[in-house]
């Protein structure tokens, strides 16, 4: 089977997977891997969970797709389920995190125009952030390596130093229509936003009548131990971008907004052909039932504490780990050796992990991962760490 027909957009590992069950993946040769990537925080219930299989089978027999010119039962139910679990009462459905970010940026720009200030169109974003690869999302991604080959990007944006209240105040004024922040920077290195910084952002948005946007695409949907990441910080944004784990492996994204922000959009301002697709929404409802109603989220903190404690034991034992950071089951291991070599050796030993930033190994197990599976991953990590000691 030729692999030459795919565009060269990813530096893929030399492996082809054909089956996955729970936390395990199996390649075409039958080799087993422990998956602590989870599709980059997507497979929150692991691979091939019964809840998703049943939802796909049931919904595909009823209604797979219908235009957004009409209502459908599933998108209405999912919007209600999401709204009942947050402070936001309006939902727009799309297909991915990048699309969710694009919608949020448009909401902020339109909101600025509605405030009768023709210059109220500035979007603030953080250095070291990552919000996606479309032109709009790329414009507010604070990493030059992703931007440089696609310049010029959008006008009307300003970069702020992450967690710097001084720089935030320096750049905030009446012309700002919105600010976008990841509560935890995933691709940037598992960097946690300071609560004081988020509170100051909220205060300035209220003062200058701008929208506070949280990008929870990677850190939301249970990853931190609450359905929405903002609840761990005590700061309520106006707009939330979610995706990834929302579908547990089935493509779906969403934007949640409060009443004030949502009024920016009227029919014709935005849309998505497949957004609110009945099949995707049925799967998402099944995922949320498992996470929320069946209590998977409630066990995240315990697993996180266990995993970080064991990793810190490895840090004390070997001179390879510099820092263990992160929250919930979004964990970063800052290491003193080449991160690519480290990840490749994990791969050879049957553990899938990915990098974040320049020197961080990222652990993203399924949210229903067992302690036995965490121990299995820790055993492989110790084998690898020992090689570099």
Annotated binding site for pyridoxal 5'-phosphate: 97-98, 130, 215-218, 273
**CB–CB of 204/122 below 8 Å?**
no
DSSP structure class, residue 292 = I
Q: Which two tokens stand for residue 34?
A: 């422990």
Give one DSSP letter per residue of 69-115, joined into a string: TS--HHHHHHHHHHHTTSS--EEEEESSHHHHHHHHHHHHHHHHHHT
Q: Which two tokens stand for residue 251?
A: 């493509």
Alpha carbons 293 and 280: distance in angstroms, whole number: 19
Is beta strand 239-242 parallel, antiparallel or unpaired with respect to 211-215?
A: parallel
Alpha carbons 53 and 43: distance in angstroms, whole number: 13
- Cβ partners under 8 Å of residue 285, min gap 6: 55, 74, 77, 78, 81
Alpha carbons 221 and 238: distance in angstroms, whole number: 17
DSSP structure class, residue 291 = I
CA terminus-to-terminus distance, the chain: 40
- Cβ partners under 8 Å of residue 3, min gap 6: none
**CB–CB of 130/186 below 8 Å?**
yes
**CB–CB of 75/63 below 8 Å?**
no
- Residues forming the annotated binding site? 97-98, 130, 133, 215-218, 272-273
Q: Which two tokens stand for residue 234?
A: 């005590």
- Residues forming the annotated binding site for N(2)-acetyl-L-ornithine? 133, 272
For 163: left if phi > 0, alpha if psi spans -120 to 50, otherwise beta; the answer is: left
Alpha carbons 313 and 329: distance in angstroms, whole number: 18
Q: Pick the closest to residue 160 from 133, 198, 195 (CA basis).
A: 198
């Amino acid at each position: 089977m030729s692999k030459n027909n795919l565009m060269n957009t990813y530096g893929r590992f030399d492996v082809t997977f054909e089956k996955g069950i729970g936390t395990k993946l199996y390649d075409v040769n039958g080799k087993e891997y422990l998956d602590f990537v989870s599709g980059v925080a997507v497979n929150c219930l692991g691979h091939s969970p019964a809840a998703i299989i049943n939802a796909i089978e049931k919904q595909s027999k009823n209604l797979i797709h219908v235009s957004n010119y009409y209502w459908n039962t599933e998108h209405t139910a999912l919007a209600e389920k999401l709204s009942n679990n947050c402070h936001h009462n309006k939902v727009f459905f799309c297909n991915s995190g990048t699309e969710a970010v694009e919608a949020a940026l448009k909401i902020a720009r339109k909101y600025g125009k509605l405030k009768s200030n023709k210059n109220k169109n500035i979007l603030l974003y953080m250095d070291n952030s990552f919000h996606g690869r479309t032109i709009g999302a790329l414009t507010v991604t604070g990493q030059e390596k992703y931007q440089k080959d696609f310049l010029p990007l959008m006008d009307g944006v300003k970069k702020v130093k992450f967690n710097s209240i001084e720089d935030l105040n320096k750049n905030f004024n009446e012309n700002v229509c919105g600010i976008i922040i990841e509560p935890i920077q995933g691709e940037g290195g598992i960097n946690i936003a300071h609560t004081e910084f988020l509170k100051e952002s909220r205060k300035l948005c209220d003062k200058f009548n701008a929208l506070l946007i949280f990008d929870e695409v990677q850190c939301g949907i249970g990853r931190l131990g609450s359905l929405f990441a903002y609840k761990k910080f005590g700061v309520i944004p106006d707009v939330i971008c979610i995706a990834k784990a929302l579908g547990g492996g089935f493509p779906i994204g969403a934007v949640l907004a409060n009443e004030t922000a949502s009024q920016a959009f009227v029919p014709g301002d935005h849309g998505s052909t497949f957004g609110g697709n009945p099949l995707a929404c049925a799967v998402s409802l099944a995922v949320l039932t498992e996470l929320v109603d069946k209590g998977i989220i409630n066990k995240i903190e315990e697993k996180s504490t266990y995993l970080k404690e064991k990793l810190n034991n490895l840090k004390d034992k070997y001179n390879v780990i510099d820092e263990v950071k992160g929250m919930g089951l979004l964990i970063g291991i800052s290491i003193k050796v080449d991160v690519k070599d480290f990840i490749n050796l994990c791969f050879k030993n049957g553990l899938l992990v990915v990098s974040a930033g320049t020197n961080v190994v990222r652990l993203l197990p399924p949210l229903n991962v067992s302690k036995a599976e965490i121990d299995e991953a820790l055993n492989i990590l110790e084998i690898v760490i020992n090689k570099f000691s």
